[in-house]
Every structure is written in C-alpha cells, then in structure tokens.
Amino acid sequence: MQRRKLGRTNLEVPVVCFGAWAIGGWYWGGSDDRAAVDALRAALDAGMNAFDTAPVYGFGHSERVIGDALRGSRERVVLMTKVGLRWDDPRGPVFFESLDNHNRPVTVRRNLRPDSVRFEVEQSAKRMGVDVLDLVQIHWPDPETPLAETLGALIELRKAGRLREIGVSNFTPALLDEAQRILGSVPLACTQERYSALSRGIERDVLPWAREHHVGTLAYSPIEQGLLTGKLVPERKLADTDQRLAKAKFSAENRARLNARLEAVVGPIAKARGATIAQVVIAATVAQPGLTCALVGARNAAQVRDNAKAGELALDAAEVAAVWNGLAHFAFDGTGIVGRVLKKLGLSR
Ligand SMILES: NC(=O)c1ccc[n+]([C@@H]2O[C@H](COP(=O)([O-])OP(=O)(O)OC[C@H]3O[C@@H](n4cnc5c(N)ncnc54)[C@H](OP(=O)(O)O)[C@@H]3O)[C@@H](O)[C@H]2O)c1
C-alpha cells in the first residue's frame, strides 16, 4: 500500500483509506455490524489503516463500530473524524431532515459553536474508546458561527492533547484562506472534498489551492457510492430505505449506461493489469496531482480487499489519462436542472 504524508503534518496515510459512512447504516439502508467489523479488520490487515468517520454517520453508530473493531490496535490506526453536524442539539441552522437507524425523524443542524465542538470531540473519543483523535475535521461550514471561534476551540483541544491535527471539509478556497490565516503556525492538515472521475469540480479551484499551500486533499465518494465499480448492475435491488434510490443517477438505465462505458474505457486496462474496474478507477483517482488519498467506503471484507489492492496498482500516465478522459464526458440522464424539475413535478423516475 502506497502511503503519503498529510499536508505539512507528521501524519501518514495510505492512498486508499477506509470511509466509514456506510457502516453507520443511516442513508445506506441499514448495515450489518458483524460484516462491518470484519471489513474494518480486513482494512487494517491490508495496510488501509486510516479510518474516516463522523458523529453523524449513523448518529454515533459508525464511531462505535470502529471502536469495537479496532480495540487493541490503537497504535496502528489513524482515526479521522469530524465536528459540526448535530442531531442532538436544537441550536444552529437546519441542514437536512432524515430518519435515524430506528426510523425516527431527525433534524440535522450545522453547529460549530465552541462548546459544541468540545462536546463532539469528547463524545467521538468516548465512542471510539481512545484518549486522542488523530484528525478532527470541520464537516461543513456553519454560517452562524465565526470560523475563528471554531478553530480557536480546536486549537485549544490540540494544545490539551485531545487531537493531533485539524482539517476541514466542503470548504471553498476563500474559506481555506481564512482557515489558514486563523490557524497561523498550526498546520491546516487537509480539506476533504467530493472527487471522482465523474465529479471533478475541485480540479478548478481546491486542488490547485491545496497543492500551492501544501495542504492534504482527501477525496470523498471516489467511486460514486458504488457506481464506479461496474458491479452495481441494473438488476441489483437496493433496500427500500437506501437513500441512493432517490437519486436519478442510480436508476437502472443510468447504471446500465455507466457500466457499458466502464467496460469500454476501464475494462481493457483492468484486463491487462489483472485488476478489477474498482481498482483501476481508484488507482487513477489517487494518481491525480494534488490528491493525497481516496476515502473509499465498504460494507464487507471482500469489498475492502478489492479496494485495498488499488493502493498497490501503479498505473502509467497513459492509463490514468485513458480513464480520466474516457469518463470525462459521461452524463447521467435526469440529473441536470431539467431532470430535477421533472422529478419535482413527478414526471420522472
Ligand atoms: N465530508 C463529507 O461531507 C463526506 C461526504 C460523503 C462521504 N464522505 C467520506 O467519504 C467516504 C466514502 O464516500 P461514500 O461512502 O459516499 O461512497 P464511496 O466510497 O464512493 O462508495 C462506497 C460504496 O460503494 C460500494 N462498494 C465499495 N467497494 C466496492 C467494491 N469493491 N465493489 C463493489 N461495490 C463496492 C459499497 O456500497 P454497496 O455495497 O451498498 O453497493 C460502499 O458502501 C465516506 O465513507 C466518508 O468517510 C465524506
């Protein structure tokens, strides 16, 4: 497994990290804790020893499962979590409404108030059974709380030895500049952004910014929540509560069209390399300039083993370009503005 330094910090992470959202269950139509524990241990065995989670992933569940699975391995793991999305505090602007793992309604709010940040860091450490968190990231900006107050609280927690490094997520370059200014001599470890062969927006702004400032960049949803593996066949039924179902890009037609494109573009490279489609797509992603690592979600050990091998697959420049250019202009039906309006009017699937 290739490894890289995270920005200017002393943290080192594998190029393929474990994304622990799906094992929280919420959004993903539930989860199987036994399979999740196997997946987490398989990740550690494969050198995929950095785990990205958040309190909101299953409303504490993802962090608890990580704590259970990795107990006794603290020295070998890098624990990366987040602050700023609360479902258990009435303060802050509403981010979204949802149902929790027991089908009870929840309101998730943005809240980066200093007292909330301190509370969340304590709770995350407790759920994962550790004294120190390796990386704490601001999950989403909170328009009601000055960034200086939030970062001030995180700097204090760092001084107190409760966390090693500070990162952010879903930030614009302007906010990244502001964060760096406020942090002063404390390094901004990383920003975590949506990035895949089909979601390349950050190539215009965040990636060049991060390269210039030596800040790490973590790609989230790098395989488009399963779509870029080629294994999400049209016939596969997702659970009724799996929220991917509500997205037009997961329609049977879109899956079929994307799988055909993957077969044509990625298939020959995968075949030549004795690799899977997922491995080639992940390897091409982590080869992009400025990217530190991909956070790849998995629900079982087989998926983890498949994904981890991508961290050992060194594609040449022509192969990387073939994947990136071959998928560049793929567009899902029904996902543009017209598709969204039709969906609102009940005129599309
Ligand atoms: N900062 C943020 O705002 C933010 C937002 C989103 C995600 N994230 C982070 O990024 C991580 C990854 O993103 P993500 O979870 O959205 O999606 P992802 O990594 O693009 O996709 C994960 C899903 O793909 C399927 N999959 C994984 N490996 C596979 C394989 N080898 N073969 C076939 N299917 C496979 C699994 O779903 P099925 O088995 O159900 O098909 C899995 O749950 C998250 O876990 C989280 O840590 C952060």
Q: 108 CA distance to ligand 1 centroid (A)?
A: 20
Tell me, using a 6 A CB cutoff, whether residue 295 lines ligand 1: yes
Radius of gyration of the chain measured on its C-alpha atoms: 20
pLDDT on residue 190: 98
Query: For atom 10 of ligand 1, which residue has the closest CA?
Result: 220
Q: 269 CA distance to ligand 1 centroid (A)?
A: 23
Tell me, using a 6 A CB cutoff, whether residue 195 lines ligand 1: no
Q: 302 CA distance to ligand 1 centroid (A)?
A: 14
pLDDT on residue 336: 63
The domains found in the chain, sorted by start residue, are 3-344 (3.20.20.100)
pLDDT on residue 348: 42
DSSP letters along 288-342, please? STT--EEEEE-SSHHHHHHHHHGGG----HHHHHHHHHHHHT---TT-SHHHHHH
Contact 106, 59 (CB under 8 A): yes
- Asked if 195 is an active-site residue, the reply is no
Alpha helix locations (H) across the chain?
33-45, 61-70, 114-128, 147-159, 173-183, 206-213, 252-265, 267-273, 277-286, 301-309, 317-328, 337-344
Strand pairing of 105-110 and 85-86?
Answer: antiparallel
Place of tokens 């979590």: 81
CA distances 165 to 41, 64, 137, 209, 237, Å, are 24, 21, 9, 19, 40
Q: Which residues of the chain have pLDDT under 70?
A: 336-349
Query: For atom 34 of ligand 1, which residue has the closest CA?
Result: 226
Q: 52 CA distance to ligand 1 centroid (A)?
A: 11
Catalytic residue among 27, 57, 195, 220: 57
pTM score of the predicted model: 0.95
Per-residue pLDDT reduced to its tens digit, 301-312:
999 999 999 999
Tell me, using a 6 A CB cutoff, whether residue 169 lines ligand 1: yes
pLDDT on residue 282: 98
Tell me, using a 6 A CB cutoff, whether residue 259 lines ligand 1: no
